[in-house]
Chains A and B, each alone.
Chain A
């Protein structure tokens, strides 16, 4: 039967050669390679649960009266969008679980994209020839954040309405075109009635379609270029070592899909998220306090809170304050992210193709820069809760904000410097893992340059290249000599 089907397709499309190659394709087994798959499978969960939600969600701000099982709002006049989300939560069987799984999946989706990006960054997996996939990955991150925001704005509750209010103001803040941009996006002055309906189309069609398209290319490129792998005995620039697609990798990967959806289901069932019935319906003159966005926008929120109060006036025109934290900062962030592979190629003078990964210590400068950057965004993220922290500590909001303003300047370079020292010491000590490194290695300044040569011998066999600099790669890894020239 199988043979007959295979033959049927092969004689029409010539598929068998490809299928045969595909089934024996080899995939490396390192755990850090699963992070990207977690992102992929969270997205699948988003598609499945989201489709269910669309059957009940009513993307309109026309007014209607909620009549249902949630007593406090029974008989209250609210928008259609808000009413339909209340119904999903209380009156549609399995509706609340679906809603909550959807929301948790969104948080995990974006979290795993960021973790995946970190993995790729700190191991140098973005280097030639994988710059294309780095760029696609960053675009996917932007789209995912955007779809998360458009999603949690849909229920038209008080918290998300506040978010949309701020989004309108951010659009207004863009020089020259901001006013028109805000009016065209929202349909007019805030709160314009069109916005929920528009966000709905964006959220369930436009952005998911873009994500699916880019994801397809992303995976096709991985397939074509094959995975990277860590430097271990028998692994060279010219080969891939791991499990075969069929059957073991397939079983493991499908297993991971079930694991991701299992965790998301349990969270969706047991851990409440976005209880819009507690926030109440959106009213332009009301606001929730405290008001924090979902985690992936925390850095922008923190930046909005931390910038000192200034505007720029230019020839009688104004660039208002929110432009700097909420437009310029994300713009610079994503531009630098997109440009990173090319910047590094330039500054490290390394345009070679790499299929063996760096360990973070192999490239202390890169690792330190990454740590600096992560610290910078983490401080902003924490600062997005400055009101909660002030309340919790019983301190004044002035003081807490001041401390954050100091931290954002001090902490990132400090962490960067510390990371640099740590990576240097780790590389020099020759320890297989951070936990095995003797403490003395850290204080031993002299070790920085000299220790490099001993590192090959221990634990990892033909282990890491000494120090930074790509010239060292050849020295540390004799296996590379075996690489097949030109393919």
Chain B
């Protein structure tokens, strides 16, 4: 099939053989020169890509046409080994190995000692892996939030209830821990009276209709970035989990299985919003030894 096609294109050509090839190489050279000029005048990304493309493309067209039109093409036949090797050869190889093995086995104690030494070395060589990171310890279970720590914005500003209108949402951090990614928290100002403490013990967690939930998605840890004040839902843009703020941020859609942990709030003596303690449970995605809430 293909060789037919090639024959046809060969027959249809009237210009002297090779002129197309020469033309393509010529194009390529001109384009390369233009490329250096563009570069010399300060460069321009689109032109650079285009000219480089033409320079390379000219070489491509030239070489392929040269090969297809002017070089001896397909039709060569070469024999192949349908099966490699053979049983006799394998058997001979195995015999050679076994002969050596017998020599070694005569000193079987030495062999065992060697294995032990290599094993010990291998084990010792594994230890530096431990240097790669800190021990997890309890770091996944706790955050810097604690009773009395003020909630501050990413600029470090403390927040008063009157700073956030009803329906508003603000990302806050524990004062002094602006770089604590695990402590990022959504501070939400609910309309008066809608807060329902779902679990007992959370009655006092929403002073002046402010609630706070971890911003780290319990699915795979993305920041739960979007809040819809109308139906009080939080939306995670990564895999579309949706959390119902009025139901203690329980997931109502998407792959998340657990509510966003709630942060108890209080208003401190100076009128700023502060934490009443750490989160209700470990924040963020699950892991093997995650304690149950």
Contact = CB atoms under 8 A, between A and B. Distances in A.
Nearest to A268: B49
Interface residues of A, number: 110
Interface string B58-75: 011111101110011111
Interface of A: 24-26, 28-31, 93-94, 96-97, 100-101, 129, 162, 165-166, 168-170, 172-180, 182-192, 194, 224-226, 234, 237-244, 247-249, 251-252, 254-259, 261-263, 265-270, 284-291, 301, 304-305, 307-311, 313, 316-322, 325, 353, 355, 386-387, 397-398, 401, 483-487
A179 B140 contact: yes
A190 B221 contact: yes
Contacts of B59: 255, 258, 262
B239 A304 contact: yes
Contact of A265 (B56, B62, B74): B56
Given A183-B136, A305-B254, A319-B288, 13 more contacts: A26-B77, A94-B48, A172-B287, A187-B132, A189-B134, A190-B182, A226-B80, A242-B74, A242-B75, A251-B64, A258-B60, A387-B237, A401-B253
Nearest to A402: B253
Nearest to A164: B221
Interface of B: 2, 39, 42-43, 45-50, 52-57, 59-64, 66-68, 71-84, 86, 129-130, 132-136, 139-140, 154, 171, 173, 181-182, 184, 215, 219-223, 225-226, 237-241, 251, 253-258, 284-290, 292
B26 to A, nearest CB: 15
A295 B129 CA distance: 32
A247 B76 CA distance: 13
A234 B78 CA distance: 11
Contacts of A319: 286, 288
B73 A248 contact: yes
B57 A320 contact: no
A185 B47 CA distance: 41
A265 B238 contact: no
Q: Is the interface of B mostly helix, strand, loop or mixed?
A: loop
A285 B154 contact: yes
Contacts of A265: 49-50, 52-53, 56
Contacts, number: 295
Contacts of B75: 241-242
B238 A166 contact: yes
A168 B284 CA distance: 11
Given A172-B286, A185-B133, A238 B80 contact: yes
A301 B39 CA distance: 40
B223 A179 contact: no
Contacts of A263: 53, 57
B50 A269 contact: yes
Contact of A305 (B139, B225, B239, B257): B239
Contacts of A261: 56
A29 B76 CA distance: 11
B255 A289 contact: no
A287 B83 contact: no
